[in-house]
Structure 1
């Protein structure tokens, strides 16, 4: 087989990385949602290599401002099914494939 100089077309798939928080689902009030999003962005940027510390930072701040019993999960590739108080859940994507779920149990 002779090489005629024509290269086969290659397709490249570019990964889309969001540099802003993408709220996937929420039923929080406007004030609570804004606070949750701001805390999430700050925590994920500050603790980019440690999801546990990021989750702890968000949880402690939400507990302090809106009362106790908030739960926070930060990570990649997880599924969940939770029972929560109405108007207290927020599911956010940040930094591409990092998901954050915040909810409150009574």
Structure 2
């Protein structure tokens, strides 16, 4: 019985990533690395408040890479957006937190 219970627990365990996992990105490598660092910093600083994390990401991206960047931080959402080429980044952080940032014209 004990072996059956251990197998059942192992099957139902959820894998949680504690690092940034980039799912979709068409940015240059340099911009991508800076954006990921910026996003991780914002998510760590404002862990319980996704709104403040998104605001920090947007303002920082506007300062570094010229205005009109957008950012969405949250759980369980889908998106379909129009964006400028080479400015989209979608990543996961902390297992269940999705972050999308892109630039509009």
Query: Common fold, TM-score beyond 0.5?
Result: yes
Q: Which residue of the partner structure matches residue 87 of structure 2?
A: 88
Match of 2:61 in 1: 62
Aligned residues: 101
Q: CA RMSD in A?
A: 1.2
Structure 2 stretches lacking a partner, 5+ long? none
CA displacement at 1:20 relative to structure 2: 1.0
**Other-structure match for 2:102:** 103
Q: Which runs of 4+ in 1 moved over 3 A?
A: none
Give per-residue Cα distances to partners, 1:21-59, cap 9 Å, x unaligned: 000000001111011100111111111100000001010
Q: Which has the higher helix share?
A: 2
CA distance in 2, matches of 1:75, 1:102: 12
What does residue range 1-106 of structure 1 map to in structure 2 within 5 Å?
6=1, 9-10=4-5, 11-12=8-9, 13-106=12-105
- Looking at CA atoms only, which structure, 1 or 2, has the larger radius of gyration? 1
C-alpha distance 9-83 of structure 1, shift in aligned 2 (>3 A):
same
Q: Structure 1 length normalisation: TM-score?
A: 0.90
Deviation for aligned residue 1:8: 8.2
Unaligned 5+ runs, structure 1:
1-5
